[in-house]
Structure 1
Amino acid sequence: MCGIAGLVVAPGQAAPSAELGRRMNAVIHHRGPDDEGLHSDDRALLGMRRLSIIDVEGGHQPLYGAERQVCLVFNGEIYNFRELRQGLEKDGHVFATHSDTEVILQAYLRDGVEAFAKLDGMFGIAIWDRRTQELILARDRFGEKPLYYAVDAQRLLFGSELKSLLQSADCPRAVDSDALRAYLAYGYVPAPGSIFQGVRKLPPAHYLRYRDGQVSLHRYWRPSLAHKTALSEAEAGERLEELLDRAVASRLVSDVPFGAFLSGGLDSSTVVALMARHLAQPVKTFTIGFKEAAYSELDDARRVASHLGTEHHELVVEPDAVSLLEKLVWHFDEPFADSSAVPTFLVSELAGKHVKMVLTGDGGDELFGGYDRYLRLMKLERLGSLRKPVAGLLTAAGAMLPNPYGERLARVGERLRLPFQERYLSGVAVMRADIAQRLRAQAGGSAHFDLPALHEAGSDLGAGDSALDRAVAIDLQSYLPDDILVKLDRMAMAASLEGRSPFLQPDLAEFALSLPESYRVRGGRGKHLLREVAAKWLPPRAISKPKQGFAIPLAQWLRGPLRDLAADTFASRPFRERGLIDAQAATTLLDEHVSGRVDRSEALWQTLCLELWAQRFLNATAPRER
């Protein structure tokens, strides 16, 4: 687990400055405090920071091959590197280290870009091939590891985090209005765009070629929802158990201490149970909770930890919300408003005091139909031709009922009138369209969430007519890589901790997507088959526990410790003059929320995160950690 950064200049341009490479490395020190490296020649800089997990002594990067004509830096882990190495050694390749990095290099020397499809892992890879004078960038299948790039006629900049690119004066810094609109709707900026015009994210399961100043993108893998297994439910359960066990075992490869996040919910508990089957010593598990009981899962986590005999670590936190928010803004690089990042960061800090790597349950909801919004969507879709009449009734009822009930009914009525993709995306959105319009209209922007980047998401995954599959396809292409996995990567890396997601092992993921709808959702609950299998290992409460999510007492914070910060921010001259958000509208929302008449916490949190991001990343020529 590391961070990478660098640039390659077009033919005829001045050689890149090694000093720039050192600055790009330094600003992501948190991603790799154990080691660093830098390659510099007349056209290329390739830098890396390393968090040593595999081959601690011998895994230094950059790594060279083909008589130093090929240079590679890599962020991530390759779980099948030992199997790949055996095949390469049979073909005559000689290894100087025991690292997974060298396996990638040797596989590239043998197979070229075809090597990426053979990797089971999470990765951002940069290869400078002097033989062909081209730069290759590659990203893992689901987007577990990030990779930004910016290209113009003179150069291509790249990095694991946007702040590395911003060390160059040539990195674009104009805010992208479409990205801002997307952020207000969803709380994150969807790939392949970024908050800045001219800066892009390499999409998951893609590689990029940069040669003679020209860029081309290529997809090397695509998940599919088209094929459904013909296995009986009992046979599918046996196959799922086998794949789950294999996926967790493969993610246990490590030369340093490791553990697991444990919430007491189904996904994380299943991962911990399977870890316990493979380890001679107790699994180290980590949980945090808040003093507000509604936002704490400590009891559920304790129950599972006791059942599985783990070495359990927990902490009830009363965080300094102001300083914590500033830390989050720095580590996300872009505006990011998923408030569950707060507990993710806090549990990462706790785990980082004991281990260097953890396993998580991320991906389970998307693969097995676990989100409540999937269930709500399926109910709406069953209305069929009755949708429009029902929409009219709900809108009329909403106008007569007091808030918040009236608002809620009116929103459901609005959703029923929309085409399918907008109908689903409106349920994903964290800010209502009318609230976004209030915040943006007077600032000269539009907040309509008709976003082509998300409308195209999942359209090529063969979802067919199934509402569940169509929603899952969208989430696999956007919500999972751009929210869930961004949150895990940035918050774990902020604590110099590696997070691994066994549910995203390719064979397991492809099998889960092949399960018929009835194997995933049954009796008004998601994850049916996963629950049946996990019941062999877990206490009944972990199987039946309603989904809680990693939430924080956001509404209380914005009426308490964050209230003054929000008020001062919205009243400030820079906020007004920046013009990203209408200052009066933001102040009015805060007044409404503080009065207790209505909950505006999500919109206020998004607005606050946006302005604090702007202060750090728009006001500074080259952002630095405070």
Structure 2
Amino acid sequence: MCGIAGFCDFKEDFRLAQHKNKALAEKMGATLRYRGPDASGEYIAEHAVFAHRRLIVIDPVGGLQPMIRMQDGCEYALIYNGELYNTDEIRNGLKKLGHVFDTTSDTEVLLRAYMQYGEQCVDYLNGIFAFAVWDSLKQQCFMARDRFGVKPLFYAVRGSTLVFGSELKALFEHPSVKPVIDRYGLCEIFGLGPARTPGCGVYKDIYELMPGYSAQFNAEGLKIAPYWQLTAREHTDSYAQTVETTRSLLFDAIKRQLVSDVPICTLLSGGLDSSVVSAVAAKALGENGKTLDTYSFDFVDNERYFRASSFQPSEDRPFVDIMTKAIGSNHRYLECDNDDLISGLYGAVLAKDLPGMADVDSSLLYFCRRIKENHTVCLSGECADEVFGGYPWFRDQEVYDTPAFPWSKKLDLRKEVLSCELLRKLPLEDYVHEQYQKSIARTPKLDCEDALHSRQREISYLNITWFMTTLLDRKDRMTMANGLEVRVPFADHRLVDYLYNVPWEFKYHEQEVKALLKDAARDILPEEVLGRKKSPYPKTYHPEYEQGLKYELRLILSDRYAPIHRLINADALKALMNSESDYGRPWFGQLMAVPQMYAYLIEINFWLEHYGVDIVL
């Protein structure tokens, strides 16, 4: 994995001021050094300037970027962040067409695929990616992002200039891009956050290339279009056939994603999803005489303070022990304490350039730092719940009846802490409802479906295009901030496309949650793990953690220059902090309750202050 950045302008000849433009590219690239700590490079063409930071995973010598190749007197330059899982198939096809390869890297495969197939190269790719190609023949910059947005790519157009980068911070190094937020950006933060509307960069006039989209920038301007979308089709397979196809697609995705020239591991919580990934990976590595390394996460003293709930019914440790014994992995148990959890809130904002999932982010940031001490690549069980219907809200009648995002049905807690003046200025409820309705309108459906199956499609689509994207964004930013590459086999587009059309009756076969996945993996997992009730990413229940958050927040409130004062109702927030601890009112997902609201507000204040965000209402 890597970091990319650049700018293009067809009214400029960047070669005339090479030193100046190279220095600017270096500054943009330097902001992404944690994504790519191993190497850096720049490229300057007449109308394009590229910067690249490299994390070495495949072909250490041959994969240097920007990668440049010539064909028929024309120059092609690529900067790429990602990993292709069908490199060999694409390479073999290109060889048959006469291409000669100088390296074993997937970077060269991607570049030559563009040289051969042009903009349609994306149709051939199975992987996670965000890339930009300068094409001197067509005089254009071509950009694309993977089908589910595992890899990020932000952009802004200022006058005749296109500025882009893997992260927002890279854009801010360009003199034409400033961190400004208007009332719609505040609606994103307070109404939808830590999720974001697809394609929205939160900051004013900054956008993110949507998953499954590509873009062409030339003298005529910027043209953006989807190259892939989920498609509704009638599912005709029997349940037995569906189990077998699911197993084949999933196991193939896991095995493909084990390719690496550097140490690889998996994240193992003892839950169904991570256990499937780890079991398949352990077997595949074992066939080559290797032992899988695995990691699990928890918090100091969590066995003492853990509170079982419908969202989080059990601790991970007993099930991790069962799995590590079953697959014979080399396992490391990692723990995070309260100080690291709270201090990590600030690092998480710096990694994301926005407030995020509070301690869900900061803990992952800490754990990834520990993993990076020994590994560079890991596989995760992320995304299974979105595509197999694992979350409780898939079975919540209120969700079916309520026209709202399932993970954030009400804005009450969010609005409690906002100032009356801000609430008058922000169209909060209307904005959130509008984004919801737009997504519902885009949901791929079949004309013949009844109301129930149509609603199930909507809920599935919302989870894939919103909640899954939020978790993938979190995963990329917290891992890459430590130079750690994460891979997500459950987000393989072939698997997701197939499962989108599998009826709920199969996913919930015989009233069993995620029965389809369990039956697909039944012969590789212990019964105890197969029968475990879903338990999400762990959270701390330590009372000192909440007290630490309140201490930090009170310090902020005591500073009359703190930027968050413009936005919140300090009296209401103080009253909330003086009330009884409340973990039972999630305002986002399953894990973000009142303590996470405190952490989110701490992040917002730090974000406004550190980035010097200009609020324009």
Return the TM-score normalized by structure 2: 0.88
Alignment of 1:329-368 (within 5 A): 329-337=349-357, 339-368=359-388
Per-residue CA distance 1:346-398 (angstroms, 9 max, x = gap)? 33223212211011111111111111111114x664xxxxxxxxxxxxxxxxx
SS in 1 for 2:429: coil
Of stretches 48-57 and 38-47 in structure 1, the one that deviates more from structure 2 is 38-47
Aligned-pair CA distance for 1:166 = 0.8
Paired residue for 2:310?
none
Aligned to 1:385: none
**Contact 2:239–2:506 (8 Å) recurs in 1:** yes
Choose the corresponding residue for 1:448, options 416, 421, 429: 429
Residues 193 and 200, structure 1, Cα contact 8 Å, conserved in 2: yes
Q: Work out whether 1:6 is the aligned partner of 2:6.
A: yes
Aligned twin of 1:58:
62
Greater alpha carbon shift after TM alignment, 567-576 vs 496-505? 567-576
Relative distance call for 1:108 and 1:458 in structure 2 (3 A) is farther
Matched, 1:605 2:599: yes
Amino acid of the residue matched to residue 206 of structure 2? V
* 1:94-493 correspondence runs (5 A): 94-188=100-194, 189-212=196-219, 214-224=221-231, 226-280=232-286, 281-290=290-299, 291-293=301-303, 294=306, 296-320=315-339, 321-337=341-357, 339-377=359-397, 381=400, 418=402, 420=403, 422=404, 425=405, 427-429=406-408, 432-433=411-412, 435-436=414-415, 438-443=417-422, 444-446=424-426, 447-448=428-429, 450-451=431-432, 452-457=434-439, 459-463=441-445, 465=451, 466=453, 467-481=455-469, 483-493=470-480
Distance in 2 between residues matched to 1:57 and 1:583, nearest whole Å: 56
Counterpart of 1:301 in 2: which secondary structure? helix
Residue 484 of structure 1 aligns to which amino acid in structure 2?
L
- Bigger drift between 585-594 and 317-326 goes to 585-594
Task: Flag the 1:58–1:431 CA change in 2: closer, same or farther, 3 A.
Answer: farther
Q: Go from structure 1 to structure 2 and tell me whether the alpha carbon gap of 1:301 and 1:556 turns closer, same or farther (over 3 Å shift).
A: same
In 2, the alpha carbon distance for the partners of 1:68 and 1:326 equals: 46
**Which of 585, 600, 614 matches 2:608?**
614
- For 1:322 and 1:213, locate their aligned partners in 2 and report how far apart those are by CA, in whole Å: 48
- Of 518, 527, 530, 1:531 maps to 518
Q: Deviations over 1:538-572 (max 9, x none)?
A: 11221121222113226835532222111111232
Q: Distance in 2 between matches of 1:580 and 1:68?
A: 53
Give, in whole Å, the separation in 2 of the partners of 1:271 and 1:496: 22
Q: What does residue 403 of structure 1 align with?
A: none
Alignment CA distance shift 1:113-1:595 (3 Å): closer
Contact between 2:187 and 2:431, CA under 8 Å: does it hold in 1? no
Could you tell me whether the CA contact under 8 Å between 1:186 and 1:430 is conserved in 2?
A: no
**Contact residue 270 and residue 534 of structure 1 kept, 8 A:** yes
Instruction: Give CA deviations for 1:194-248 in whole Å, capped at 9, x if unaligned.
Output: 2210110000000011112611111000112x22422221122122221122111
**Whole-Å Cα distance in 2 between the matches of residues 618 and 431 of structure 1?**
30
| Counterpart secondary structure, 2:181 | coil
Equivalent in the alignment of 2:547: 560
Q: Give the Cα–Cα distance (whole angstroms) in 1 for the partners of residues 236 and 533 of structure 2.
A: 30
Moved more, 155-164 or 311-320: 311-320
Between the aligned partners of 2:92 and 2:544, the Cα distance in structure 1 is: 54
Amino acid at match of 2:570: A
The farther-off stretch of 451-460 and 93-102 is 451-460
State the Cα distance separating 1:150 from its structure 2 match. 0.6
Partner deviation per Cα, 1:25-63 (whole Å, 9 max, x = no partner): 111111011111111234221111111111112100001
What TM-score, normalized by structure 1, do the two folds share? 0.87
SS of the residue 1:279 aligns to: helix
Q: Structure 1 residues 524 and 110, CA, compared in 2 at 3 Å: closer, same or farther?
A: same
Q: Secondary structure at the match of 1:242?
A: helix
Structure 2 CA distance for aligned equivalents of residues 201 and 176 of structure 1? 17
Moved more, 229-238 or 257-266: 229-238
Contact 1:69–1:130 (Cα < 8 Å) also in 2? yes
For 1:292, give the aligned amino acid.
Answer: N
2:98 corresponding residue in structure 1:
92
Matching residue's letter, 2:84: I
- Residues 554 and 611 of structure 1, relative CA distance in 2, 3 Å threshold: farther
Give the equivalent residue in structure 2 for 1:550: 537
User: CA 1:267 to 1:228, structure 2 compared with 1: closer, same or farther past 3 Å?
Assistant: farther
Contact 2:557 2:565 in 1 (8 A): no
Measured in 2, the distance between the counterparts of 1:22 and 1:121 equals: 28
CA contact (8 A) 1:136 1:210 kept: yes
Q: Residues 589-600 of structure 1: matches in 2 within 5 Å?
A: 589-592=576-579, 600=594
How far, CA to CA, are the matches of 1:615 and 1:576 in structure 2?
Answer: 6
Show structure 1 runs of 5+ residues with no match.
Answer: 382-415, 621-626
CA distance in 2, matches of 1:567, 1:197: 30
Tell me, yes or no, if the aligned pair for 1:440 and 1:580 is still in contact at 8 Å: yes
Distance 2:373 2:229 in 1: 38
Alignment: residue pair count: 577
Structure 2 alignment gaps of length 5 or more: 308-314, 586-592
Distance in 2 between the 1:157 and 1:278 partners? 42
Check conservation: 1:184, 1:606, Cα contact below 8 A: no
Counterpart residue type for residue 131 of structure 2:
I
Counterpart of 1:448, as a letter, is: E
How far is the alpha carbon of 1:193 from its aligned partner?
A: 1.2
Equivalent pair of 1:570/1:586 in contact (CA under 8 Å)? no
Structure 1 contact 459–473 (Cα < 8 Å) conserved = no
Three-state SS of the structure 1 residue aligned to 2:274 is helix
The residue aligned with 2:89 is: 83
Match of residue 36 from structure 1: 40
Deviation at 1:338, TM superposition (A): 5.1
Q: In structure 1, what is the Cα distance between the partners aligned to 2:75 and 2:131?
A: 17
Of 24, 27, 34, the residue aligned with 2:31 is: 27
Moved more, 443-452 or 463-472: 443-452
Task: Give the alignment's Cα RMSD to 1 decimal.
Answer: 2.4
TM-superposition CA deviations, 1:323-354 (whole Å, max 9, x none):
21111111011221354223322332232122
Distance 1:555 1:165 in 2: 39
1:308 CA displacement: 1.1
CA contact (8 A) 2:564 2:608 kept: no
Amino acid of the residue matched to residue 6 of structure 1?
G
The CA deviation at 1:90 is 0.5
Q: Name the stretch that deviates more: 13-22 or 1-10.
A: 13-22
User: Which whole-Å CA distance do the structure 2 matches of 1:532 and 1:255 have between them?
Assistant: 33
Q: Which moved more, 1:588-597 or 1:572-581?
A: 588-597
CA offsets 1:478-529 (integer angstroms, 9 cap, x no match): 2211x11011101111221100011111222222222111111245543111
Determine if contact 2:381/2:488 at 8 Å carries over to the other structure.
yes
Inter-CA distance 610–211: structure 2 relative to 1 (3 Å threshold) = same
Which range moved further: 201-210 or 552-561?
552-561
